[in-house]
Amino acid sequence: DTGVSQDPRHKITKRGQNVTFRCDPISEHNRLYWYRQTLGQGPEFLTYFQNEAQLEKSRLLSDRFSAERPKGSFSTLEIQRTEQGDSAMYLCASSRQDYSGNTIYFGEGSWLTVV
Amino acid sequence: AQSVSQHNHHVILSEAASLELGCNYSYGGTVNLFWYVQYPGQHLQLLLKYFSGDPLVKGIKGFEAEFIKSKFSFNLRKPSVQWSDTAEYFCAVIAFSGGYNKLIFGAGTRLAVHP
């Protein structure tokens, strides 16, 4: 099955360190999304790519966060100088707009714990 | 700003009971509507979706949802729940407004089904 895959699945890091997450979307999906989910909350939108272009960024995405999708395929989300408040599940999703709408499929997420 | 409200944060039912989870959204234009489920330790999975046409949509595992445009609602139903339905359920909306194309989630409803 070529679903959305994310790596690593779990990451524990010390405050102040940088971390990077990778997402491989479903093949042929031109849209890629990053969300963040904390316990007891629904996923919150972070950013969205159509092909390699980053079309929208949430205000949640501070200057310490950067996302790229250099060739319109996989994407990376980097968090610099991590803070304890960054501890969350980082979800990647992908979709392909078709005539019937836009169904978004999610990966299993990358858990980040900042200690 | 667009938002999604799920009225019940926690629901506890016995097996064979009927289920209805409320979802309301705030946006007056064209929307795509979704229910996602997250089983313990697993990733978000699509239960069902509404793009257009028949406002009563059927999804996997016996779930259905009804889109009532006048009430801005998309409630999830199941006539008889099973223990295996224990999970967290998220309502989500894509609101189309120019380039506005992201999936907005509600806070989720935790369902516990007792045998």
Q: What is the DSSP letter of B62?
A: G
Q: What is the mean pLDDT of chain A?
A: 91
Token pair recorded at residue A68: 């790229």
Min Cα distance B96 → chain A (Å) is: 11
Q: Give the phi and the psi of residue A85 in degrees, each rounded to 5.
A: -70, -10
The pLDDT, as a whole number, for residue B40 is 87
* Per-residue pLDDT band at B100 (split at 50, 70, 90): low
Q: Which residues of B touch A93 (CB under 8 A)?
A: 103
With contact defined as beta carbons under 8 Å apart, do A51 and A71 qualify?
no
The pLDDT, as a whole number, for residue B25 is 94
- Least-confidence region, from A72-76, A106-110, B38-42: B38-42
CB contact under 8 A, A55 and B99: yes
**What is the share, in percent, of chain A residues with pLDDT greater than 70?**
95
With contact defined as beta carbons under 8 Å apart, do B8 and B22 qualify?
yes
CB contact under 8 A, A93 and B46: no
The pLDDT, as a whole number, for residue A89 is 95
d(CA A114, CA A88): 9
Q: How many other CB atoms are there within 10 angstroms of residue B27's CB atom?
A: 18
DSSP alpha helix (H) spans, chain B: none
In this complex, which of A42, A45, A107 lies closest to B90 when CB atoms are compared? Answer: A42
With contact defined as beta carbons under 8 Å apart, do A27 and A10 qualify?
no
Q: How many other CB atoms are there within 10 angstroms of residue A74's CB atom?
A: 16
CB contact under 8 A, B44 and A43: yes
d(CA A93, CA A106): 4
In this complex, which of B44, B51, B108 lies closest to A100 when CB atoms are compared? Answer: B51
Q: Is the pLDDT of residue B60 over 80?
A: yes
d(CA A113, CA A84): 8
The pLDDT, as a whole number, for residue B8 is 87
In terms of Cβ atoms closer than 10 Å to its own Cβ (0-12, 13-18, 19+), residue A79 is buried
Task: Give pLDDT tens digits for A73-84.
Answer: 999 999 999 999
Q: What is the mean pLDDT of chain B?
A: 91
Q: Does B11 touch chain A (CB under 8 A)?
A: no
Chain B contacts in chain A segment 13-72 (CB below 8 A): 33, 35, 40-45, 48, 55-56
Q: Does A106 touch chain B (CB under 8 A)?
A: yes
Q: Is the pLDDT of residue A62 over 80?
A: yes
CB contact under 8 A, A44 and B105: yes
Q: Which residues of A touch B96 (CB under 8 A)?
A: none
The pLDDT, as a whole number, for residue A2 is 67
Task: Give pLDDT tens digits for A14-36.
Answer: 999 999 999 999 988 889 999 99
CB pairs A-B closer than 8 Å: 55
- Least-confidence region, from B20-34, B70-84, B98-112: B98-112
Q: How many other CB atoms are there within 10 angstroms of residue A2's CB atom?
A: 10
The pLDDT, as a whole number, for residue A16 is 97
